[in-house]
Structure 1
Amino acid sequence: MTLEIAGSRSTKSTVVFNHPFRLGRDSREFPPGTYTVHTHEDVYQGVFDPIHIAISAELIVNLDGTTFSRFAKPEELRSALELDANCTLIADGPSENPDRLSG
């Protein structure tokens, strides 16, 4: 069974970062917020349903009235989102003094 590239597609979604973050090896830190992401995928066809494989993620960044794109590997975006979620879990996690009553 051979796979043949049948084209490409882009999908649009949004992601939310609750903390400052970096993508991949980029030293630039981006602020928390909601970002638009365009995921670029190759589409492969065979004797089965099409397979979509993400090849890049384009983060749309709006800073100080300027809009620009930051391209990253899909796994770099996933890692940044996972790190952000872990930071939120740590910040919102159990109290360091669970025996102390609140209020």
Structure 2
Amino acid sequence: MFTRSTRSTVTFSNDFTIGYSQLELPPGTYEILVEEELIQGLSFEAYRRTATYLMIRGRGSHAGQTTMQMTTKEELEHAIACDRALSETTNDSEAALSPLEDTK
């Protein structure tokens, strides 16, 4: 069976939880690892997602350690949407405001 892994990053602006975990994670940039397997028997190449992991770097006395927390695409998308919504309602920075329209 042929498999492939894809790595990407996501940045959270606020504390967040993901999935059913009660562990609250701090804001920051996190690596996402997606594993997929080739679907055999098709006339074209297609892959099926088999696992999604959020890589959590240790801090403080756990610095240097990394934990892979299994999650799903839907749980990750939900955490990102919640983070975006919270940022939009709590951010008072003028830099985050949309530019004003030119009235000339």
Whether the TM-score (by the shorter chain) exceeds 0.5 is yes
- Distance in 1 between residues matched to 2:80 and 2:47, nearest whole Å: 21
Q: Find the residue that maps to 1:35 and give its secondary structure.
A: strand
Higher helix fraction (1 or 2):
2
How does the TM-score come out when normalised to structure 2? 0.73
Q: Find the residue that maps to 1:58 and give its secondary structure.
A: strand
1:69-88 map, 5 Å: 69-88=68-87
Letter in 1 for 2:47: H
Give identity over the alignment, percent: 29
Q: Please provide the CA RMSD for this pair.
A: 1.8
Q: Cα 1:42–1:69, aligned 2, differ >3 Å: closer, same or farther?
A: same
Tell me, yes or no, if structure 1 residue 57 matches structure 2 residue 28: no
- Please point out which of 19, 25, 46 is paired with 1:30: 25
- Distance in 1 between residues matched to 2:24 and 2:76, nearest whole Å: 13
Letter in 2 for 1:23: I
Q: Find the residue that maps to 1:28 and give its secondary structure.
A: coil
Structure 1 unpaired stretches of 5+: 1-5, 94-103
Q: Residues 55 and 73 of structure 1 are in contact (CA less than 8 Å); yes or no, is this contact kept in structure 2?
A: no
Q: Find the residue that maps to 1:26 and give its secondary structure.
A: coil
Letter in 2 for 1:21: F
Structure 2 unpaired stretches of 5+: 93-104
Q: Deviations over 1:5-57 (max 9, x none)?
A: x5221101111011111111011111100011111112224112x22232321
How does the TM-score come out when normalised to structure 1? 0.73
Q: Who is 1:91 aligned against?
A: 90
- Distance in 1 between residues matched to 2:86 and 2:38, nearest whole Å: 35
Q: Who is 1:39 aligned against?
A: 34
Tell me, yes or no, if structure 1 residue 18 matches structure 2 residue 17: no
